Amino acid sequence: MHTFEELTHKFSERFEKDHFPPEPASLYNPNRYFLKLGGKRIRPVCCLMSAELFDEITEEAWQVANAIELFHNFTLIHDDIMDKAPLRRGMQTVHEKFGDSTALLAGDVMLVTAYDYLNKVSQKYSTKIISLFNKTAKEVCEGQQLDMDFESKDAVGIEEYLHMISMKTSVLLAASMKMGALLGGALDRNQNLLYEFGRKLGMAFQVQDDYLDAFGDPQKFGKQVGGDIKSNKKTFLLIHALEAASSSQKEELKDLLQSNDEKKVDGVLSIFKQCKADEWAKELKEKFTKEAFEHLEDIAVLSKRKEPLQKLAVYLTQRDF
Amino acid sequence: MHTFEELTHKFSERFEKDHFPPEPASLYNPNRYFLKLGGKRIRPVCCLMSAELFDEITEEAWQVANAIELFHNFTLIHDDIMDKAPLRRGMQTVHEKFGDSTALLAGDVMLVTAYDYLNKVSQKYSTKIISLFNKTAKEVCEGQQLDMDFESKDAVGIEEYLHMISMKTSVLLAASMKMGALLGGALDRNQNLLYEFGRKLGMAFQVQDDYLDAFGDPQKFGKQVGGDIKSNKKTFLLIHALEAASSSQKEELKDLLQSNDEKKVDGVLSIFKQCKADEWAKELKEKFTKEAFEHLEDIAVLSKRKEPLQKLAVYLTQRDF
């Protein structure tokens, strides 16, 4: 068995090959550029680790891992267009560098290329894999649409926010785990436990992400702290604060959200702390992490085999960077 | 066997069911809106007719026809974003009515839904069908990118233009025919003949489209004549004229392309006629049509069975509307 660091290294090596034909370069160079920006490759590695929980990693698990990572990058390219984001991993986004139309097409063709890898799966598993992949792809699109809908909505309840995050972020992690389990020969019950393990882990990860954006150590976090606050992004913290704040705090918070001055970040952070949104977020993350671990424990394989996934879960939820 | 009118009717009836879940309505209503705008459904009907050339139409041929029509509509939604087109079939385009971001996502999720229908194909055919579908989808994206590249290019040769049109327009018709043939149980040779029949037919269709946009009868054509000229679109006619014109005609043509006054359309049409671009286009269309029919004749089935496809070919290439 492998640690997640080992599998990340092995996967990255394989994934670095060229997935696209040389011509037309005006379409495929943007894709090559974007994939070269790198990434943590968490989702494909989750697929591989789940497969290895049950058996040796098969060639088709590697292919599905490719499909998952290409799909994830397709969503990033299109999301960046929608968000008008100038930078990704410190470099120009595809639409910024090559124009919106090319970014749109480059994303489309990356999604189609993901299906090329899915088409390498043997007939024993192909229908199930493609069905889960499609369901997940639609949910990720739905999550992104809900996220955009929320931008123009005054009040977003925590329940609908949890649903949106589950679609936009967690189901891809969950499905990656389940696909790996399926390809590793796991039975339905174990597949579904891995799905829920991945989904809860994804939720914990997102809570942590929101937390770090507000309360992270700028030295370690690697990007500007307070970015979400500046852009009025609806996060776990903001949604909780809007629900938990007193009416005077709520007024102050709303005024701050409409302002754009230097004191905005500090002001919002102060209210977050007054409402104990930071403590609440930590507890919420712990709750999701605990639930994730319970699902992992329930899986009917030797405990020893679960250690790599346990370490991954700790890495994803305890990180301060 | 059925005529193409009968199959168009039958397909439209089946296709009119709802392909999307109710929620989130903000994502799926735009798709429902767009599909309700209708269309000639030529590509799925080509798939069904090709299947019926060899055998009775199977349930999976209907499913693949759905996938083809959804794919085609996905390309239209995304193309309209790239072209900033306000209208499609006389109605608001998706991005015009619902915004660019939602149109982008609606297209994405329509493409994924196409793969849902492909996933219903039996294992006997599924790998081949998905492989041809993916190859074609990538070519259509490549064609669209080349078309955009041509916009900023001074000189486009007729050969590269033919290649672009083949990718952007013809391969989807060709692949629809081939998928139908495959699902109808045809052997490789017949499948490939239908592919080339569809491809050449697609070329003839596009030449006719360019011709009608310039020389069509406004009463019959149903849309404004001269639209391509006004927007300086590179068409068969313009590319031929730029190659065939004398140097003084070329100067005049380039001046006209840079102008935007009322006389532009008449001026360009006059040069087209001087260069005999109209006659050339008619001959080019005849050449492609003739080649298409030769491929159809070569197919090893009873001539009688080919009659519906012959009638479709005449309809597509002889239309004046």
> Does residue A131 share a domain with residue A92?
yes
Asked, for residue B182, whether it belongs to a domain, the answer is no
Contacts of A22 in chain B (CB under 8 A): none
- Single out the residue of A9, A78, A79 nearest to residue A40, CA to CA: A9
Q: Provide the number of structural domains found in chain B.
A: 2
Rounded Cα gap, residues A163 and A176, in angstroms: 19
What average pLDDT is seen over chain B? 95
Record the tokens describing residue A119, joined without a space: 């088409």
Query: Are residue A210 and residue A163 in the same domain, yes or no?
Result: no
B176 belongs to a structural domain: no
Q: Closest CB to A116: pick one of B104, B113, B134.
A: B134
Same domain, A177 and A266: no
- Kindly list the residues from chain A whose CB atom is less than 8 angstroms away from the CB atom of residue B101: 81-82, 148
Domain range for residue B39? Answer: 1-133
Could you report the per-residue pLDDT of A79-88, keeping only the tens digit for each?
A: 999 999 999 9
Instruction: Indicate if B229 and B319 belong to the same structural domain.
Output: yes
Residues of chain A with pLDDT under 70: 221-223, 321
* Domain co-membership, A154 together with A197: no
The alpha-carbon gap from B202 to the nearest alpha carbon of chain A, in Å, equals 22
> Which pLDDT score is estimated for B221?
67
Q: State the ipTM, two decimals.
A: 0.96
Q: Which helix (H) or strand (E) holds B91?
A: strand B91-92
Is the minimum CB–CB distance between B144 and chain A shorter than 8 Å? Answer: yes
Do A56 and A129 belong together in one domain?
A: yes
Q: Distance from B126 to chain A by nearest Cα, in Å?
A: 9
Dist CA A277 CA A284 (whole Å): 10
Q: Looking at the complex, report in whole angstroms how far the Cα of residue A155 sits from the nearest Cα belonging to chain B.
A: 17
How far apart CA A189 and CA B67 sit, in angstroms, is 32
Same domain, A167 and A310: no
Enumerate the residues of chain B whose CB falls inside 8 A of the CB of residue A123.
Answer: 123, 126-127
Instruction: State which of A151, A166, A186 marks the end of a domain.
Output: A186
Reduced to 3 states, what is the DSSP secondary structure of residue A275? coil
Region of residue A38 (phi > 0: left; psi between -120 and 50: alpha; otherwise: beta): left
B140 lies in a domain? no
Q: Domain containing A236 — which CATH number?
A: 1.10.600.10
> Of A169, A186, A203, which residue is a domain's last?
A186
Task: Please tell me the distance in Å from B161's CA to the nearest CA on chain A.
Answer: 14
Q: Provide the b/e sequence for B287-307 (b: ≥16 CB within 10 Å).
A: ebbebbbebbeebeeeeeebe
The phi, psi pair for B307, rounded to 5°, reads -55, -45
Both B91 and B196 in a single domain? no
Burial of B256 (0-12, 13-18, 19+ CB in 10 A): buried
Instruction: State whether residue B298 sits within 8 Å of chain A by CB.
Output: no
- In-domain check, residue B158: no
Considering only CB atoms, A142 lies closest to which of B24, B111, B142, namely: B24
Minimum distance, in Å, between the CA of residue A257 and any CA atom of chain B: 24
**Using CB atoms, which residue from B27, B115, B118 is nearest to A142?**
B27
Task: Indicate yes or no: CB of B123 within 8 angstroms of CB of A126.
Answer: yes
Residues of chain B where predicted confidence (pLDDT) is lower than 70: 221-223, 321
Beta bridge partners of A92: A87
**CA A40, A46, A47, A49 torsion-angle sign:** positive
Nearest CB to B24; choose among A126, A131, A145? A145
Residue in chain A closest to B160 (alpha carbons) equals A24
Query: Has this prediction a pTM greater than 0.90?
Result: yes
Interchain CB distance below 8 Å, A130 and B109: no
In this structure, are B9 and B116 located in the same domain? yes
What pLDDT is stored for residue A221 in this prediction?
67
CA angle (A188, A192, A197) in 5-degree steps: 150
Q: How far apart are CA A285 and CA A207, in angstroms?
A: 6
Tell whether A217 and A288 lie within a shared domain. yes
At B84 the three-state DSSP class reads: coil
* B interface test, pick of A112, A144, A160 with most B CB neighbours within 10 Å: A112
Kindly state whether residues A173 and A303 are assigned to the same domain: no
Phi, psi dihedral angles at A235 (to 5 degrees): -120, 170
User: In this complex, is the C-beta atom of B78 within 8 Å of any C-beta atom belonging to chain A?
Assistant: yes
Which of A27, A78, A119 shows the shortest C-beta gap to B141? A27
Q: Note whether residue B165 is domain-resident.
A: no
Give the pair of three-digit tokens for residue A178: 């389940």
Express the helix, strand and coil content of chain B in percent, nearest 5 each: 75, 0, 20
Contacts of A130 in chain B (CB under 8 A): 115, 118-119
Mutation target for B interface from A20, A104, A144: give the one with most B CBs within 10 A. A104
Interface contact A85, partner B, CB < 8 A: no
Round to the nearest angstrom and report the end-to-end CA distance of chain B. 27
Q: Determine the residue of chain A that is closest to B167 in CA distance.
A: A24
Examine the fold and report which residue of B133, B164, B198 is the final residue of a domain before the chain moves on: B133
- Whether B45 is in a domain gets the answer yes
3-state secondary structure of B226: coil
Q: Do B18 and B123 lie in a common domain?
A: yes
